[in-house]
Structure 1
Amino acid sequence: MYWTSLIALALIRPSQALIRFGCSQLVVDRLDPLVNPGMEPSPHLHQIIGGNSFNASMYKEDHDLAKLSTCTSCQPSEDFSNYWTASLFFRARNGTYKRVPQKGNVGFEAQRGGMTVYYMQASLGDFQQKAKVKAFQPGFRMLIGSPSASTKPEADKYPQLTYTCLQDMNTRYPETKDFPAKPCPAGIMVNLRFPTCWNGVDLDSPDHISHMSYPANGTFENQGPCPASHPVRVAQVMYEVIFETKAFNKKADWPTDGSQPFVWSFGDTTGFGNHGDYVFGWKDDSLQKILDEECYVQCKTMKTQSIEEMNRCSIPKKVDEDVGDDAWIDAIPDETAIRFWSSP
């Protein structure tokens, strides 16, 4: 799907809510309370944003993010949800690695790493945002994608996880399912769009996916109906993560065989294992009020904080290890997660 400029879209008079906001980095750590609850360290590294009550044991039902967090790294000051994805690495010709940092999106250039988050009533291209959707409930959580996916057919089970090779910061197409095959001047944007049909009962499921569904036919973008098994239409949560690749864009540093050099922290060099996690933590009914408001990006009912305040919200790392932020490292933490590299 082709995403047009938000500046142009903001000139269109809205009917219902679409919100877009930046979130600074809360922490980069080897924790995953959804898939590996209580485990320190988890199998692979993540970059995490949102409320500062994030920890390895927050899977417990009594962990109320909105009540236990004292700050959030996101622009909405009442959003203490946590959002996270895997971290990205660059592999040099000599086999060493460095973590690829994130940078702020258009309008959020001053934020410290992190990502951009959307909540949408309908597709971004539906300027009027006419659909009505229900906000998530306390304790709700989900993930999308599979780190074990290593082929396009496996990745196609999750149709809205893609990459954009940014020629400049306003590039939004084409989108691909695998990593870009050539250097991207303005970075690699990783796009994650979550399913939008909920079974209306379960706040989670054993696989963290099956309580959610894609539309029965059609897509979220064309207002496809939800299946009878998942009848409740919820907002589409979308992440845009921009990895700053400028330090790694010299073709002379890329593999001599012409392959691309980027690898996810769980060892995927194809890009097909793209995945993301979400735990709801908005205060009281603040998200529902925003979704019920006639607004577009700038919503009166959304209380916000400054980028400086976002940047100040962080938590210390739990796992003491070198993740390749400064010097090159010999292996990605944890090396046992690396599955896809073949011998040169």
Structure 2
Amino acid sequence: MQWSKLIALALIAPSVNALLRFSCSQLVVERLDPLVAPGVSPSSHLHQIIGGNSFNASMDPANDIPGESTCTTCTFTEDFSNYWTAVLFFRARNGTFHRVPQRANQGFEQANGGMTVYYTPSYTGGSVTAFSPGFRMLVGNPMFRSEAEASQFRQLTFTCLDTLGTRTGETMDMPTRPCQEGIMANIRFPTCWDGVNLDSADHQSHVAYPQSGTFESGGPCPSTHPVPIPQLFYEVIWDTRQFNDQNEWPEDGSQPFVWSYGDPTGYGTHGDYVFGWQGDALQKAMDSNCNIYCPELGSQDINQANQCTMQPTVQEDISGWLDELPGGMPVTS
């Protein structure tokens, strides 16, 4: 693990007192969604998943996720959580689709796609309560297609990467110009918990955003959700470089990328999380003031994390040019 390089990269990460920032390589890409459609195989649209290899269609909250996993795609070896998002596709002028590959983030160039995951304990120095076994949550709504709808999720954005270090110019909708180094999807989860429920019927109501402002501005938690929890944040880089020829983009000048749930706008972006850390490892990390490197946690080399993979249980061809999105998802705007 190139910790010296990662520590230097902390300069481009959020300005905070402490944080975990680590790589999770790709585990599997398939149509499963154990939060929204537990037990259903296949689910409606395609996801890309990282984390522990006990991921499955059901993910019963009573199960011992760390105990059922034999490996994890994440840097920290106590983390068998699962993290997933939808998948990005390029839509050609002839109406066919091609899956956009993922690209490793700065400092994690050896990773097999996947995501960069952040856990931030506090921007103001206060303590947070780490997630517990059985905890899970979802942020975003794949049905949204307008900025007005998406604005209820304050920090789901996209960054058009002019360089791999670009961290400015976030937008709530998809970039409308070619992005030289790819498109980064930024998924930031709520940071306040009701202190009681590990989940809710919509997988969202048990958590909330701060009462005012955002987590990094020090906004207090609302009285209904008084318990501060870590800021969970995904960065996913979609390697759109091979699709940057605007002669292949729609003739009307619109952008050509479509999410696997049929969204060409980006307003329906969303992310899912199922907690799976061993014991109290995450709480120790949150209490220890770790900054990128965390000696309180075990770690593995990225090459070792790359070896943790799963074969898809849903058998379908998602390679090459496709006549339709997997599952026959229609494109709706």
For this structure pair, what is the TM-score category when the shorter chain's length is used for normalisation?
over 0.9
Distance in 2, matches of 1:71 and 1:134, equals: 26
Q: C-alpha offsets along residues 166-197 of structure 1, whole Å, 9 cap, x if unaligned?
A: 00100011000000001100000000000000
Q: C-alpha offsets along residues 2-58 of structure 1, whole Å, 9 cap, x if unaligned?
A: xxx97364599x995300000000000000000000000000000000000000011
Deviation of 1:149 (Å): 0.4
Q: What residue number does 1:288 align with?
A: 283
Q: How many residues align?
A: 327
Q: What residue number does 1:70 align with?
A: 70
Q: C-alpha offsets along residues 198-255 of structure 1, whole Å, 9 cap, x if unaligned?
A: 0000000000000000111122111111111101000000000000011100111101
Work out which of the residue numbers 294, 303, 312 in structure 1 matches 2:307.
Answer: 312
Change (3 A) 1:10 1:295: farther
Distance in 1, matches of 2:17 and 2:198, equals: 25
RMSD of Structure 2 on Structure 1 (CA) = 1.7
Alignment of 1:33-44 (within 5 A): 33-44=34-45
Q: What residue number does 1:126 align with?
A: none
Contact 2:133 2:275 in 1 (8 A): yes
Alignment of 1:29-68 (within 5 A): 29-58=30-59, 60-68=60-68
Distance in 1, matches of 2:164 and 2:96, equals: 29
Q: C-alpha offsets along residues 280-309 of structure 1, whole Å, 9 cap, x if unaligned?
A: 000000001111112211111121001111
Work out which of the residue numbers 226, 232, 235 in structure 2 matches 1:237.
Answer: 232
SS of the residue corresponding to residue 221 of structure 1 reads helix
- Is 1:338 matched with 2:333? no
Contact 2:30 2:312 in 1 (8 A): yes
Contact 2:91 2:98 in 1 (8 A): yes
Q: State the identity %.
A: 56
Alignment of 1:159-238 (within 5 A): 159-238=154-233
AA at the equivalent of 2:114: G
Distance in 2, matches of 1:177 and 1:15, equals: 23
AA at the equivalent of 1:29: E
Contact 1:15 1:294 in 2 (8 A): no
Change (3 A) 1:188 1:68: same
Unaligned runs of 5+ in 1: 124-128
SS of the residue corresponding to residue 282 of structure 1 reads coil
Alignment of 1:100-179 (within 5 A): 100-123=100-123, 130-179=125-174
Distance in 1, matches of 2:137 and 2:80, equals: 16
Q: What residue number does 1:99 align with?
A: 99
SS of the residue corresponding to residue 247 of structure 1 reads helix
Change (3 A) 1:15 1:261: closer
Contact 1:10 1:297 in 2 (8 A): no
Q: What residue number does 2:3 align with?
A: none
AA at the equivalent of 1:317: P
Q: C-alpha offsets along residues 89-136 of structure 1, whole Å, 9 cap, x if unaligned?
A: 00011111100010110010111010100000234xxxxx62211100
Change (3 A) 1:11 1:86: closer
TM-score by length of 1: 0.92
Distance in 2, matches of 1:6 and 1:239, equals: 18
Unaligned runs of 5+ in 2: 1-5
TM-score by length of 2: 0.95
Q: C-alpha offsets along residues 55-83 of structure 1, whole Å, 9 cap, x if unaligned?
A: 0011x232221110000001101100000
AA at the equivalent of 2:85: T
